[in-house]
Amino acid sequence: MLLLAVPSPGGAIVVVQDNEVVHESTDGGRTYHDMYRASGPVYFAAISADGTLYVLHDDELVVVRNGKTIAKHATREASRVVVDGRNVAMLNKDSVEVSTNGGLTFASRIIPSAALGVGNEILGTWDMTIANGSTFIVETSINTCTSSDILEWQRLMQFGRIPFQRSLPVSRRDFAASWKFGAFGWMYGITYAERLVAIDASSVTPVLGLPQVTMADRLTVAHNQRVTVATIGDSLVELNGTTARVLDAHSKATDYIAVDGDDRPLVSDGKDLWRFSRITGWTKLALP
């Protein structure tokens, strides 16, 4: 299952629930209609503020606008597509394809090698976003083949004309098993120091306003380019850089999370879909 939302006020809720059909609800999650039927399993999808849909399946990226396919692009083991306005990026096996015209055409950027003897691939845990018009990937690689886990690298890559990478400027106590992107390029991770840390271009800062967190707490993060929400353990929270606000200390079961066009969290365990409002609390919505 995939859970998406059009990031504009009143935007649709989009659900991929049966692997090949993309369902859309334009009435706030009461009813659904088919938005796109793929010829094979859908691996990932993204949707822009104008409702353009980007679907990865069968070794191709399909771009759908107003119910019509407007472009198709061959892929190589592609695993993610992200969009922000007219900027689109797709992660292939050993490259990132970037577009500035809504996915009509793409330019290829080779993924930098993380270390000597390592290929041009993403090997660890990772996340991907577009912020300020640029595509970013954050990756953590941990060697688990020894008696103790060994951190091999934590790197941030930016895919401009010439791809650039740098190590994350974190101390050993704030190494994290994975980092997740929020709005405006902020990165969040639960670190070995058992705290949630936020990273931007100039700082590494513990996030204030949260109860105690542990490495065992599961972290899921979603954003709509404006608002970032997350589940940390049992809590639903809103993240704003280095500060946080707990929305509900006992959130619904969450395997999938999104933020709708009106900045409200959507969560699902694959069986039920819920929307949270600071005014009305939880509202149960339909699934296709």
Predicted confidence (pLDDT) per residue in 235-274, tens digit: 999 999 999 999 999 999 899 999 999 999 999 999 999 9
Q: What is the pLDDT of residue 19?
A: 79
Whole-number mean pLDDT of the chain? 94
Closest CA to 77 of 98, 61, 101, 99: 61
CATH number of 1-110: 2.130.10.10
What tens digit of pLDDT does each residue of 155-174 get?
999 999 899 999 999 988 89
Q: What is the pLDDT of residue 147?
A: 60
- Distance, in Å, from the CA atom of 99 to the CA atom of 82, rounded to the nearest integer, reads 11
What tens digit of pLDDT does each residue of 11-61 get?
999 999 877 899 999 999 999 999 999 988 999 999 999 999 999 998 999
- Distance, in Å, from the CA atom of 6 to the CA atom of 13, rounded to the nearest integer, reads 7
Would you place residue 138 in the very low, low, confident or very high pLDDT band (cuts 50, 70, 90)? very high
Given the structure tokens 């990756």, which residue do they identify? 139
Cα-Cα end-to-end distance for the chain: 11
For the chain, the structural domain boundaries read: 1-110, 119-251
Q: Can you give the pTM of this predicted structure? A: 0.95
Q: What's the whole-number mean pLDDT along residues 207-221? A: 95
Which residues pair with residue 96 across a beta bridge? 91, 109
Q: What is the pLDDT of residue 226?
A: 97
| HEC per residue, the chain | CEEEECCCCCCCEEEECCCCEEEEECCCCCCCEEEEECCCCEEEEEECCCCCEEEEECCEEEEEECCEEEEEEECCCCCEEEEECCEEEEECCCEEEEECCCCCCCEEEECCCCCCCCCCCCCCEEEEEEECCEEEEEEEEEECCCCCCEEEEEEEEECCCCCEEEECCCCHHHCECCCEECHHHCEEEEECCCCEEEECCCCEEECECCCCCCCCCCEEEEECCCCEEEEECCEEEEEECCEEEEEECCCCCCCEEEECCCCCEEEECCCCEEEEECCCEEEEECCC
